[in-house]
Structure 1
Amino acid sequence: MAGDRVFVIGVGMTKFEKPGRRRNDDGSVWDYPDMAREAGTAALEDAGVDYTDIEQAYVGYVFGESTAGQRAAYELGLTGIPIVNVNNNCSTGSTALFMAAQMIRGGLADCTLALGFEKMQPGSLGATFDDRENPLAQHMTALGKIAEFAMPPAPWMFGVAGREHMQQHGSTAEHFAKIGVKNHRHSVNNPYSQFQAEYTLDEVLASRSIYEPLTKLQCSPTSDGSGAVVLASEAFVDKHGLAGRAVEIVGQSMTTDFASTFDGSAKNLIGYDMNVQAARRVYDQSGLGPDEFQVIELHDCFSANELLLYEALGLCAEGDAPRLIDGGATTYGGKWVVNPSGGLISKGHPLGATGLAQCSELTWQLRGDADKRQVDGVTAALQHNIGLGGAAVVTAYQRADR
């Protein structure tokens, strides 16, 4: 990762909401330009810079028309800068972050913006077009050779991977449910979270079955919302005296599917190998290993994915994730605090905003600004975001003054 150092100097996000629920003060529907204006303005104010300082913007969304990125960013200003629309399925927000960081890392810009939003339809995700190849058709065909297809597709895919882990390593329905319990408990202290209710293990297990072992309270919801991150070069940080609150990206990698994705295992079809390779590259770049992070925001679209990510990110050996869960290693008082925000399961999952909301949470944690969610002694933080079809982005952060 040669080139200039990259720093997060400002973050902002909206509260994530159930689709269509929020209204503006005048009673009008809360639309994506409103979301982007709120999150983007918060990030600029947090950074202490003006939109005129932004040299390039990368705007992510999955569901929307062709230049919705421009329409969203125009809420912040009309300065003629390059604005690039980004779509990488559920990893869209962190892909925008990756691209905005690349411009600084390559010395092509000193201050960039990553902005993401989503205005979603209620209910399970489905295909937008029926007159062309579905990007996940190859993955689903391969998974159909392992388990009979079921609707909705996303919980089926992750649920099959969860069942595979149960068969190979002895994990149980309770292990997956405990992840749901943890993330809902964490979200109680997050004012940005779509859900802020705590549930017992029995309540999570008894909630409506979506695809065994996954119940409703172990699945991320559809959400509306936005997130934004302002990035800067070392020269920009020094010039504007921002080092005291800046957070450095000390490692970042994006991977896409490998040949091993289609090796006949369910976990690789939902991105396990992409996650492993992206994490390894970030550890090499940063010089930090899994044990040196105190707080992690990862892509728990379903509890099965969080369990598998404990292993893919190297928090434990393959097959040992149940031990971490039973030992409380991934919550307050444990070795790591995973998804202090509540994660996708409880905070919500507006696809284009998710990766930027993760960055926001980790920036607040590193600054000591996470209020009741604050993890003690945070010196390094790790982020993971994935989109099937596929792309995985892993990012490591440290405070600039370290």
Structure 2
Amino acid sequence: MGGRVYVVGVGMTKFEKPGGRDWDYPDMARESGTAALADAGVDYAQVEAAYVGYVYGESTAGQRAVYELGLTGIPIVNVNNNCSTGSTALYLATQAVRSGQVDCALALGFEKMQPGSLGSTFDDREQPLMRHLLALAELHEFAMPPAPYMFGAAGVEHMRRYGTTAEQFAKIGEKNHRHSANNPYAQFQDVYTLAEILESRQVYGPLTKLQCSPTSDGSGAAIIVSESFVERHGLADRAVEIVGQAMVTDLPSTFADRSAISLVGADMTRTAAAKVYAQAGITASDVDVIELHDCFSANELLTYEALGLCAEGEGGKLVDAGETTYGGQWVVNPSGGLISKGHPLGATGLAQCAELTWQLRGTADARQVPGASVALQHNIGLGGAVVVTAYRPANR
């Protein structure tokens, strides 16, 4: 894999309802980037490259965002990979450090979104998800908006194949809203009963409104450095090592399987997770805490299986056994996940990184997973890309 790579500083803004705060993306980037630099004890002048993710924005918005931190002439790369944009920026920063190109890199993501369901920006050309949507429409009657249709159809398919129930999906929404009550960065901090989750407005298939991630504004950032940088600056006490990381895009099985579950990325996740476990020398049972891409409750359940937390078809049983919350084998989405923390597309992957860094340092306050020593991150974007990352504290 090359040299060792560490996260030494993280920062994020509170995630907000679009229009709920008087700010723009440079303000968001300044807030998260300044927090990450302060957390690392690093000056912006020490950063040698920056990778800046956003989905909705003009060209070179990454430069404009990072200029809030300084003007040093470093390479700044704009990154867009749909909902996996933030973790793609993290992946690129990690690759730059691991290869020896730089000793210190900044990964930053932000999003300033429009209220309501996601829409297209350019209507005079084919949409990137058109091939996926056409394939899915052969299996499930098309519905709008596309994102809940795709993941809801995958949930319906899982119910038909394995007997998974609407209540099992709803339990994931209940868990994540409950977790977010302890997260001051979360867009929502409301706790709901299982009945309230089930009785909220139906969106598609088993999905109700309280099982769907909202549109959000916000930003996250991480400082990524080499082992020699950690040693020179005495940062081992705050450093968290990236011990495995993989990015995978769509596979032949995505379309050949004729399955909604494959079309929303289960095989990408399974492939990436296998690579990460091999790199890190771990299995799913070694992991303590997980931040995964619960854009909808259906995807969280599918991801349990793709990450190897349980066998295919047994995600519902894992939910019923309470194995993915405090007191279970894993704590999944202690932050509240996308469903309750929020989902500003470019920032999500870096907010996940921040949460897991705090968990492994033991500084996650009321959300702290006792004794957390191995963490796993999963961030997916349809069309398609998934990034899976494994972390350990440097001093353990």
Q: Do they superpose with TM above 0.5?
A: yes
Aligned partner of 2:282 among 281, 285, 288? 288
Correspondences of 1:117-156 after superposition (within 5 Å): 117-156=110-149
| 2:292 partner amino acid | L
TM-score (norm. length: structure 1):
0.98
Query: Which residue number corresponds to residue 21 of structure 2?
Result: 22
- Paired amino acid for 1:336: W
Separation (CA, whole Å) in 2 of partners of 1:314 and 1:255: 17
- What residue in structure 1 maps to residue 191 of structure 2? 198
Task: Give the aligned residue type for 2:166.
Answer: A
For 2:41, the equivalent position in structure 1 comes to: 48
Which one of the candidate residues 272, 290, 311 is aligned to 2:305? Answer: 311
Give SS of 2:376's match.
strand
**What amino acid maps onto 1:288 in structure 2?**
I
**In the alignment, does 2:13 pair up with 1:11?**
no
AA matched with 1:158:
F
> What's the CA shift string for 1:135-155, capped at 9, x where partnerless?
000000000000110011000
Segments of 4+ moved more than 3 angstroms: none
2:351 maps to 357
Matched, 1:400 2:362: no
CA deviation string 1:54-92 (max 9, x = no partner) = 000000000000000000000000000000000000000
- Quote how far apart the aligned CAs of 1:334 are: 0.4
Query: For 2:346 and 2:260, how far apart are their aligned partners in 1?
Result: 25
Could you tell me which residue of structure 2 aligns to residue 79 of structure 1? 72
Residue identity in the other structure for 1:287: G
Deviation, structure 1 residue 278? 0.3
Q: For 1:187-243, what per-residue CA distance to the aligned partner results, in whole angstroms no more than 9, with x for missing partners?
A: 000000000000000000000111121000000000000000000000000000000
Normalising to structure 2: TM-score of the pair?
A: 0.99
The aligned counterpart of 2:152 is 159
The aligned counterpart of 1:377 is 371
* Aligned-partner Cα distance in 2 for 1:177–1:128: 32
1:90-105 equivalences under 5 Å are 90-105=83-98
Q: Which residue of 2 aligns with 1:328?
A: 322
> 1:112 deviation in Å?
0.1
Structure 2 alignment gaps of length 5 or more: none
> Aligned to 1:110, which of 103, 110, 123?
103
Looking at structure 2, the residues matched to 119 and 321 of structure 1 have their Cα atoms a distance apart, in angstroms, of 34
Mapped partners of 2:34, 2:165: distance in 1: 45
Instruction: Extract unaligned runs of 5+ from structure 1.
Output: 24-29
Alpha-carbon distance in structure 2 between the residues aligned to 1:154 and 1:244? 41
Q: Which of residues 201, 204, 209 in structure 2 aligns to 1:208?
A: 201
2:270 aligned residue = 276
Q: What is the total number of aligned residue pairs between the two structures?
A: 395
For the residues of structure 2 that align with 1:50 and 1:244, how far apart are their CA atoms?
Answer: 18
Q: Which amino acid aligns with 1:130?
A: D
CA distance in 2, matches of 1:103, 1:212: 42
One-letter amino acid of the counterpart of residue 315, structure 1 = L
1: CA distance, partners of 2:204 / 2:158:
15
Inter-partner Cα distance in structure 1 for 2:64 and 2:363: 31
- Separation (CA, whole Å) in 1 of partners of 2:56 and 2:27: 16
Percent identity of paired positions between Structure 1 and Structure 2: 74
Aligned to 1:26: none
Q: Give the Cα separation in 2 of the matches to 1:267 and 1:167.
A: 12
| Root-mean-square deviation over aligned CA pairs | 0.4
- Report how far residue 272 of structure 1 moved: 0.6
Secondary structure in structure 2 of the residue aligned to 1:80:
coil
Equivalence for 2:296: 302
Q: Map residues 244-263 of structure 1 onto 2, 5 A cutoff.
A: 244-263=237-256
Q: Distance in 2 between matches of 1:22 and 1:242?
A: 35
Q: Which AA in structure 2 matches 1:44?
A: L
Shift of residue 369, structure 1, vs aligned partner: 0.4
Matched, 1:390 2:384: yes
Amino acid at match of 1:314: G
Distance 1:147 1:287 in 2: 40
Q: Which letter does structure 1 place at the counterpart of 2:14?
A: K
CA–CA distance in 1 between the matches of 2:277 and 2:110?
A: 29
Instruction: For residue 248 of structure 2, give the secondary structure of its aligned residue in structure 1.
Output: strand
